[in-house]
Amino acid sequence: SGHIACSEKRTYHLLSTVETVGPYYARWLQRFPDWDALAAAPLDDVLLAWEGLGYYSRARNLHRTARAVRERHGGELPADPAALRTLPGVGEYTAGAVASIAFGLPVPAVDGNVRRVLARLLDLARPTPAQLRREAARLLDPERPGDHNEAMMELGATICTPRAPRCGECPVAAWCAALAVGTVAKRPGRRPRRGPVPRVDYSTLVAIDPADRILLARRPEEGLLAGMWEFPSGEVCEPAPDTVARSALQRLAIFGACGRRAEHLASVQHAFTHLRATYHPVVVRFDRAGSRTLERETEGHAEPLAPAPEHAWIRSGETAGYALPVAQQKIARLVEAWLLKAGDQ
């Protein structure tokens, strides 16, 4: 079936469950109850089921892992940590968690919570990942490694918290070196601050044809929001209305169309982990077929455009059937409201 039972744990569930997203998890398992179901599903279905959770690379990695489990491991997840680390998106922590919790192997699992517990327990100022793995392995209970790892994670999440740790309730306070010397608040030490998060502006084309269908395009298979659908967007050097509108009209030409009546909608902001994006949607009415060339005014000639990405013309009410990132969902709602208003005029 794709499930592997071990100490009443199931490895497929271990890779996908997160307490804070219970409703999503339940729907996910209803749609993809085991490795085989996930492996057989089209990527579009997987991304759509993941919609709203963010970190879409995790959904793609789960899908790739399911196919690797089916094709390379006979439908059963390998127990060996080294083999687990060859699967897409599986690193030291995930491999350790699965190997210990699902298979009962004495392998440490060090996440952020465990890092903090170990640093305080042993009074380590700025421990390296290798040092933490060594100490975690040294302290690991070989008889109950899964329970031990889960207990360490839970201890860090509920008692040994980053701020205001509840040392009076800690079951290992008597052995805590940092508590003994008064350095709990300083451990594990601050990581170097990241630089300022860059801000990026995007011109977003909302192309509408005479039948009031809207244009969606699929993003590339690699990079940010890979494989998802969007209103065609491109980075602009400045968010000036003329710049944004010109970029949108040029983007429409990629799809072999010319447009008119560029109208700006409200901007939409979204924070990614590594950048803050502002999307500037521009409604452009599809006017006629174009030549798929871009006129270069300064050079006096037309330059052929890059091939158009995979795209679809759909009704505004059909966007629910496409995996749209959160910011694009907000734009879709703006477009739907615009179409309703335009229909009343």
Region 151-167: what's the mean pLDDT? 96
**Domain spans, the chain:** 5-186, 199-344
The predicted pLDDT at position 304 comes to 52
Q: Which run of H or of E encompasses 314?
A: strand 311-314
Q: Which residue has the higher pLDDT, 17 or 246?
A: 246
Q: pTM here?
A: 0.71
Question: Looking at domain 199-344, which CATH architecture does it have?
Answer: Alpha-Beta Complex (3.90)
d(CA 274, CA 277): 10
192 contacts 12 by C-beta, under 8 angstroms: no
Q: How far is CA 318 from the centre of its chain?
A: 23
**3-state helix, strand and coil shares in percent for the chain, rounded to the nearest 5:** 45, 20, 40
Tell me the pLDDT tens digit for each residue of 49-74.
Answer: 998 888 888 999 999 999 999 999 99
Indicate whether 333 pLDDT > 80: yes
Question: Looking at domain 5-186, which CATH architecture does it have?
Answer: Orthogonal Bundle (1.10)
Q: How far is CA 64 from the centre of its chain?
A: 15
Region 140-159: what's the mean pLDDT? 96
* CB-count exposure of residue 177 (10 Å: 0-12, 13-18, 19+): middle
Distances (CA, A) of 89 to 10, 38, 59, 92, 151: 19, 16, 10, 10, 24
* Weakest mean pLDDT among 166-175, 272-281, 294-303: 294-303
Indicate whether 269 pLDDT > 60: yes
The predicted pLDDT at position 53 comes to 82
Instruction: Give every CB contact of residue 123 below 8 A, 6+ residues apart in sequence.
Output: 177, 178, 180, 181, 183, 187
d(CA 188, CA 118): 8
Mean pLDDT for all residues in the chain:
86
d(CA 219, CA 227): 5
Cβ atoms within 10 Å, residue 297: 6
The predicted pLDDT at position 300 comes to 42
Instruction: Give every CB contact of residue 104 below 8 A, 6+ residues apart in sequence.
Output: 6, 7, 145, 146
Indicate whether 290 pLDDT > 80: no
Indicate whether 218 pLDDT > 60: yes
3-state secondary structure 180-219: HHCCHHHCCCCCCCCCCCCEEEEEEEEEECCCCCEEEEEC
Q: Which residue has the higher pLDDT, 148 or 258?
A: 148
Tell me the pLDDT tens digit for each residue of 241-258.
Answer: 999 998 998 888 888 777
Indicate whether 323 pLDDT > 80: yes
d(CA 133, CA 101): 17
